[in-house]
Amino acid sequence: MAASAHAQLIQASWARCRDHGLQPQHVPDFDCLTRAELNALLERRQALLQVTRDEVLPHYAHLLGNASYLVMLADASGCLLDSWGSRRFIEPRQQHGFTAGAHWHERGVGTNALGTALICAEAIHVGQDEHFLRQNRYLASAAAPLFNAARQLVGVLDVASDGYLPASQTLGLVRMMGQSLENRLILAEHAGQHAQLIFNSAPDNLDSPWAGLLVFDECGQVLAANHRADSLLGGNPLGQNIEQLFQLPLQQLLAHPRQRPFALQATGRNRFHCQWQPGREARRSCAAGSSEPRLAKALAQAGLLLEKDIPVLVQGETGVGKEVFVDTLHRASSRANQPLVAVNCAAIPAELVESELFGYDKGAFTGAHHKGNPGLIRKADHGILFLDEIGDMPLPTQARLLRVLQARSIQPLGSGEPVAVDIRVVSASNRDLAEEVRAGRFRQDLYYRIAGLAVVLPPLRERSDRRQLIEQVHARYRDPGQPARLPAGIVDLLDRHPWPGNLRELVSVLQVALALAGAGPVGVEHLPAGFLAELQVPVPVAREPADLPTLVAQANGNLSAVARGLGISRTTLYKRLREQ
């Protein structure tokens, strides 16, 4: 930190202290918790304490043991959770301030590294004479705020000393420890479920806390990143895609040997040395992020236009994954940290569409909530509004929506004051909206307003990555004890299916098959009868009633899944079970 910037932080802190009514001669007030309050707090912050004590501190014992350092860990409120190291330099009258339960707020303790770092949200060193209260000027300390995988402030780490150690040394140490702790919090939250990419400017410091860390799903979307990644990439990569960040197809990146360094070129920046580590299992199936060329092109084009505030219309058959496409689009956009508000225009009753979309003031109509309702459009302010099944929107509501999109403001029912909204708009429909316009069922002017770019998602039967999707969906829904791969014959069968229900049908079929297969491999006999009929494959002979209890046990008691798999009704299944 530049000297002038540091001086400004200290000056601003002293100004806050005066605003709190403090005077330099005042005695520090550590506002300690009661024993009961402290025990409850320690229980809530057990995970943070454990990672610090068991995983971070041991790596720095050789540095801390050779000097008069005291390491202090506090939560996001500035309450001390624990401390480790030398206490020889502490003033006897202040011993209670260095024990668990003491608060290090500026309003009670004045300018201090721990409390000031919480307010500044950045690492800071506070020298002896920089403390506002004179009684604190025997010590010097540096502190760094701590953030979890969601970039939420969860605590602060402080390294205090008697002031005879170089400020740069203390600040560098606390920064390194803080970055190490942030990395471990990110990895602990994702618990190895997702792949990790470590990268840095040199190959010999990939195991350093200063390496960039990205956690990403099987689609390449970044789910978590440390602050070092921000510095290396020139911005927060959360919600972006690995392929965009490093100009490399995901499959090509994953083709590199695991945990062995390789070089990558980041967009518009220097080459980085990297290594990656796979996760145990992906949490979600990525229908949109795949090797299907048409989808990749659609995502790239839609992303570019959305950033320019040009509306996007997504069309395709029912079940092709329009919602997943829009979710992927949102997570890759500059508004990834802002709301994505999805509105199913077909599911809202016609008489409630206007009040749900545009909101209403209290007392606007009989039955209105006494607090009013801001409406779904206003909830999407600064984010993305997703109008699903927009072809089912009533014509009168289409007219009001058109005015909103033109004026970028809404007028809630019962209110005379328009409210400005900052939204990007994505719409979707399984209908051919151009044909709906010609038939007079959809407004032409609204169509041109929402269809700046119209993309058509291909049905599953036409996708070139069908086998990859089958494996992804299987990986998502199988239990840990079930086989990791589908039998080749079953994959072939699924690949040949016409899939009239698209991805939605694929998910349903595999859920049923996995429930019926239990711990064993999925076989033809586990596939729903309706699926086999569509494929024109003979339905396997129904099992004898004596097998039914076994099937129910394999399906964890899910009678509906068993009935679907046997091609019988639940009533018939109940009857056969009673006959046992």
Give the start-to-end residue ranges of the domains of the chain. 3-190, 195-277, 293-456, 461-578
CATH code linked to domain 293-456: 3.40.50.300
- Residue with the larger pLDDT of the pair 360 and 385: 385
**CA dihedral (498, 502, 506, 509) positive or negative:** negative
3-190 and 195-277, same CATH topology: yes
Please say whether the dihedral angle defined by the alpha carbons of residues 340, 307, 382 and 401, taken in this order, is positive or negative. Answer: negative
- pLDDT, tens digit, for every residue of 525-545? 888 888 888 776 554 544 444
> Which pLDDT value is given to residue 494?
92
- Six-digit token string for 194: 């997702």
Q: How many other CB atoms sit within 10 Å of the CB of residue 99? A: 15
> Which pTM value belongs to this model?
0.51
Pairing of strands 340-344, 384-388: parallel
Contacts of residue 87, Cβ cutoff 8 Å, sequence gap at least 6: 70, 95, 98
Please answer whether residues 161 and 89 qualify as being in contact, where contact means their C-beta atoms are separated by less than 8 angstroms: yes
Q: Is 3.30.450.40 the CATH number for 3-190?
A: yes
Mean pLDDT, rounded, for 219-233: 88
Handedness of CA 546, 549, 555, 557 (dihedral sign): positive
pLDDT on residue 393:
85
Give the pair of three-digit tokens for residue 237. 């990569």
Per-residue pLDDT at 443: 93
Residues 363-389 have a mean pLDDT of 71
Query: pLDDT: is 286 or 334 the higher one?
Result: 334
Fold topology of 195-277 = Beta-Lactamase (3.30.450)
Strands 124-126 and 140-147: antiparallel
Q: Are 490 and 504 in contact (CB under 8 A)?
A: no
- Give pLDDT, residue 284: 41
Retrieve residue 14's tokens: 């002293």
Q: Give residues with Cβ within 8 angstroms of 46, minimum separation 6.
A: none
Please give the share of the chain, as a percent, with pLDDT higher than 90. 32
The structural architecture, per CATH, of the domain 461-578 is Orthogonal Bundle (1.10)
Cα–Cα dist 380/32, whole Å: 42
pLDDT of residue 76: 93
Instruction: Say if residues 471 and 505 touch (Cβ distance below 8 Å).
Output: no
Whether the predicted pLDDT of 468 surpasses 80: yes
Give phi and psi for 516, each to the nearest 5: -80, -30
The answer to whether the beta carbons of residues 180 and 213 sit under 8 Å apart is: no
At residue 187, does pLDDT exceed 90?
Answer: no
Task: Please report, rounded to a whole number, the percentage of residues in the chain having pLDDT higher than 70.
Answer: 84
